[in-house]
Amino acid sequence: MKISVIQGPNLNMLGVREQNIYGPMKLEQIHAQMKDFASQNNIEIEFFQSNLEGEIVDKIQECYGEANGIIINPAAYTHTSIAIRDAIAAVAIPTIEVHISNIHRREEFRQKSMIAPVCASSIIGFGPFGYHLSMLGMAQIFNEMQAVKAQQEQKAK
């Protein structure tokens, strides 16, 4: 099973920007922890970060037929991007939305997610630990997918 982790704008600045909101952890540290979990659970993982909406849409589309799951933090595009929402809906790959801060406790314009309705789940407000929770969630989704596939194969016999 393969997970594509897609990070949106300004997440490359984690550990530098607004530590009172996002904490001191750098994106590379978060990715290292996710990679450790993936290797312990026989999951292939890849990472992508872009500050450009179109590149994020392209990456989501590239996941079609290549990845079994997407973990995405669309960052500021969460609240504005119909294009990212439509790309997630189009590829129909289980997707988990992650946010380090609790968007519901932030400015009013940050409280609505355009992305959440097309995702399997959203993990919000747990800081960098939210990425670990997203890995647990994706592992559960993979287990369920494998169970359904095994059941279908059993019925076909």
Catalytic residues: 22, 99
Residue type at 135 in one-letter notation: M
